[in-house]
Structure 1
Amino acid sequence: MTAMARTENKAGASGTAQMVAALSKALREKHQLSQEELGKKTGYTASAISAMETCAQPASDKMLVKLEETIGSGLGVFEKARRFVLLEKYPSRFRGFSELEAGAVTISSYETLVVDGLFQTEEYARALIGGGYPPVSEQKREELVEARLVRRRLFEREPAPMIELILEESVLRRPFGSWEVLRGQLRSLVEDAARDNVCVQVLPLDRGLRGTYAGARGAMKLVVTKEHDHVVYMEIEDQGILVSDPPEVSQLAHRYAKIRAQTLSPDESLSLIERLAGEER
């Protein structure tokens, strides 16, 4: 990281990052540890600890876990901070929805251009984010990749949510970074589809030849919250739209149901994904 980038990070540090930095320094000094000693205990360099304490480089999720283990003193402050630190790493348009997603009991997603972020591999996410426009700094790219990967904890949550993903076939054929990155993403989809609480289906390229095609109006994500509220989230040109009005949600849910009715079966979809994952280019 350049000196200019560090200066910009310090000036633009969020309140959460500043609080974590102050708490880390105070607890480190309480334990009578130097930055180098804390770094050795947590698996980081002294310069990484210094960068975190000065807000030149905000703490990663992994660093917060290590700080909790080494100097947390049983207070749980770094564990509690993880949620807020990650929330600030998401694009502003996604922050409101991210908490709904994390606590959802049912998630039904239809994607037309890229693999749903919840299912993305690290390599796919890095290639996608790094190749976007306007371009982002390397640090911001890594923050966004980290925040995206943390969403995958949802697969392991108890009780497990029901997760359904519908992908346009074109998504399975669109590479980012390299063909190997795409093949790795497809193999990951196959593994995720094997989970008891996950269903992955594909809307075939030639669906429109049958005279009806319900997916023309774009991607959407339907969520049932733990309070059993029904909401729909959509993104259009970097604008996040959260729909909670029951008549509107009902209309979108009906459209989603029609899209699902036009997909390949789960078994047919899995066979297609496996075949594309094995193709050499």
Structure 2
Amino acid sequence: MAQSKKKDSAPPTVQYFAAVLRLLRERAGLTQDELGALMNYTGSAVSAVETCAKPPTDEFIDAAEKALDAGGLLRSAIKYLRLERYPVYFQGFVQLEQEAAAVSSYCTQVIDGLLQTKDYARALLKSAYPPFEEEELEQLVEARIDRRALLTRKPMALIHTIIDEAALRREIGGSEVTRAQLRHLIEYAQLPNVTIQVMPLSRAEHAGLLGPMKLIETPDAATLGYMESNGESTLVSKPDRVSPLARRYAMMRTQALGPEESQNFIEQLMGER
């Protein structure tokens, strides 16, 4: 009964993958233990996926794909299973983000999820209230880290972020985690497609005081705006509403420190820890 409830409450894509995996396994005439042995997994691990007790990892899917010679059927589910690791309100944005030609963001409280280290992301997600269960927390951390594939994707996507100084100074996870995160930003700033600017606290009045935002340029050259707060999100697609956001962001770029100044600023903050 408990397994049935778990299966019924699992996301639709997880349920579908479980059904296809079981069908392919049975057609191959394999038990769960036998399939697990071919995959270097236990039979109980296969059972956990088939009963939706645990969602499959990318590594599990690759192993099952090879063991069952599935012709891409199982591996094709990875994209959709990854989406279901995110909160519902964020799933649509992630899909747009991963297909984007360019992503621009302004961050006020925390560093952009695309540029977070695993330790920083975990500490940040641990601060959520109501708190996540440990298994859900780890799934959310992995999902956030998966987004970084955009940074090295081909064709190359252009990434620009403006980070408020307050977000850089906030010690999410403590001084060591924050220091590693700052070092991470400097490393990412060396990539040819990533530009990082800092909005210093000394710039008391600037165009970003209305709050954080993101702009996405789609492959067909359309621009979309995205904002979120307290588990709610807004996607802006009408040109007459996107235009003020784009102009505001352009002004912020002129008001923030330049890329080289920003890197020096982040290095200085690292030295303070």
TM-score range, shorter chain: over 0.9
Check if 1:246 corresponds to 2:243.
Answer: no
Match of 1:112 in 2: 108
- Per-residue deviation at 1:45? 3.1
Percent identical = 46
Q: Matches of residues 130-145 of structure 1 in structure 2 within 5 Å? A: 130-145=126-141
Q: Matches of residues 116-127 of structure 1 in structure 2 within 5 Å? A: 116-127=112-123
- Per-residue deviation at 1:188? 1.3
The correspondence for 1:21, drawn from 18, 21, 43, is 18
Q: Matches of residues 180-191 of structure 1 in structure 2 within 5 Å? A: 180-191=176-187
Match of 1:201 in 2: 197
Cα distance in structure 2, aligned partners of 1:39 and 1:269: 50
The DSSP-based 3-state class of the residue aligned with 1:126 is helix
Q: Is the 8 A contact 1:190 1:273 kept in 2?
A: yes
Match of 1:44 in 2: 41
Structure 1 gaps, min length 5: none
Match of 1:256 in 2: 249
Q: Which runs of 4+ in 1 moved over 6 A?
A: none
Match of 1:58 in 2: 55
The change in CA–CA distance for 1:179 and 1:46 in structure 2 (over 3 A counts) is farther
Match of 2:206 in 1: 213
Match of 1:165 in 2: 161
The change in CA–CA distance for 1:8 and 1:143 in structure 2 (over 3 A counts) is farther
Cα distance in structure 2, aligned partners of 1:159 and 1:49: 35
Check if 1:192 corresponds to 2:185.
Answer: no
Check if 1:274 corresponds to 2:267.
Answer: yes
The change in CA–CA distance for 1:113 and 1:71 in structure 2 (over 3 A counts) is same
Deviations 1:200-228 (A, max 9, x none): 110001111xxx32111110000110111
- Per-residue deviation at 1:72? 4.0
What letter corresponds to residue 90 of structure 1 in structure 2?
Y
Cα distance in structure 1, aligned partners of 2:42 and 2:161: 40
Check if 1:90 corresponds to 2:90.
Answer: no
The DSSP-based 3-state class of the residue aligned with 2:159 is strand
Deviations 1:217-259 (A, max 9, x none): 1100001101111100000221110001111111011111111
TM-score by structure 2 length? 0.93
The DSSP-based 3-state class of the residue aligned with 2:197 is strand
Check if 1:155 corresponds to 2:151.
Answer: yes
TM-score by structure 1 length? 0.91
Q: How many residues align?
A: 273
What letter corresponds to residue 166 of structure 2 in structure 1?
S
The DSSP-based 3-state class of the residue aligned with 1:205 is coil
- Per-residue deviation at 1:8? 5.5
Cα distance in structure 1, aligned partners of 2:63 and 2:119: 24
Structure 2 gaps, min length 5: none
The change in CA–CA distance for 1:68 and 1:172 in structure 2 (over 3 A counts) is same
Deviations 1:14-49 (A, max 9, x none): 221111112212222334443334334434333222
The correspondence for 1:223, drawn from 204, 209, 216, is 216
Deviations 1:158-215 (A, max 9, x none): 110111011001111112222211112111111111100010110001111xxx3211
The change in CA–CA distance for 1:155 and 1:207 in structure 2 (over 3 A counts) is same
- Per-residue deviation at 1:93? 1.0
82-91 or 30-39, larger mean C-alpha shift = 30-39
Q: Is the 8 A contact 1:187 1:277 kept in 2?
A: yes
Cα distance in structure 2, aligned partners of 1:278 and 1:151: 29
Q: Is the 8 A contact 1:7 1:56 kept in 2?
A: no
171-180 or 230-239, larger mean C-alpha shift = 171-180
Q: Is the 8 A contact 1:72 1:78 kept in 2?
A: no
The correspondence for 1:77, drawn from 73, 84, 96, is 73
